[in-house]
Amino acid sequence: MLLYHDLRAPNPRRVRIFLAEKGVAYDTIEVSIAASAHQTPQFAKKNPLQLLPVLELDDGRVLRESMAISRFIEEMHPEPNLFGADAWERAQIEMWNRHAELELLLPISMIFRNSNKFYEGKIKQSPDFAANMREVVAGRFAWFDSELGQREYIAGARFSIADITALCAIDFGKPSGIRVDPATHPNLAAWHARVSARPSAKA
């Protein structure tokens, strides 16, 4: 199994953490976004959208989208379970993973794309939109902080894919100066320290 990834990008990191939690061995090819290595005709054959990650199986089949890749790995390697063990838990984890994607990862990515020098001259940036998204993220941090006052992990009493998405989202805030302040959001900060201490977080 071969993972096309970029070490600094959040979506490939979601898959690397997932694979590390499962203890699954795989090979990697670094496709540097900074060097525009994902924008070659050769990579477009793997992903017409020219986005990472992409998983290539030993028989040549190719899978895109970090959650499709993670669900495939979950089916192939069911333990430890990261998507939920019964109907209610699966729904809870799906709900919180979507919240983490849409309410954290999406706005934090939009802030980076619309305000960071990395994309200057590469895409049309909108600093106003980035500023609006910063306000959204501040509100979402407050919400996640209050939720995490009631349980240890994002979707319940145990670690799941929702924690992986939220961790990768929040850590991707770093280049935009977005950090969890323990004084303002103590529950979110404690959760962040808890999940960051897992060996998989280094993946």
Ligand X SMILES: N[C@@H](CCC(=O)N[C@@H](CS)C(=O)NCC(=O)O)C(=O)O
Give SS3 for 154: coil
Long-range CB contact pairs, 95-99, < 8 A, 24+: 95/155, 96/154, 96/155, 96/160, 96/162, 97/67, 97/155, 97/160, 97/161, 97/162, 97/165, 99/162
Q: Does 33 bind ligand X (CB under 6 A)?
A: yes
Binding status of residue 9 toward ligand X by CB under 6 A: yes
Which x/- pattern, by CB under 6 A, does the window 64-103 give for ligand X? -xxx------------------------------------
CA 46 to chain centre: 20
Site stretch for ligand X (CB under 6 A), options 49-57, 87-95, 142-150, 185-193: 49-57
How far apart CA 111 and CA 14 sit, in angstroms, is: 19
- Quick check: 110 binds ligand X (CB under 6 A)? no
Q: CA-to-CA distance for 143 and 139, rounded, in angstroms?
A: 6
Specify the residue, 30 or 65, whose C-beta has the smaller distance to ligand X: 65
Asked if 10 is part of the footprint of ligand X (rule: CB under 6 A), the reply reads yes
Smaller CB distance to ligand X: residue 67 or 188?
67
- Residues binding ligand X: number (CB under 6 A): 11
Beta strand 62-64 pairing with 54-56: antiparallel
Give whichever of 53 and 173 is closer to ligand X, judged by the CB atom: 53
45-53, 73-81, 178-186, 187-195 -> range binding ligand X (CB under 6 A):
45-53
Q: Which amino acid is at 71?
A: R
Q: Would you tell me which residues interact with ligand X (CB under 6 A)? A: 9-11, 33, 38, 51-53, 65-67
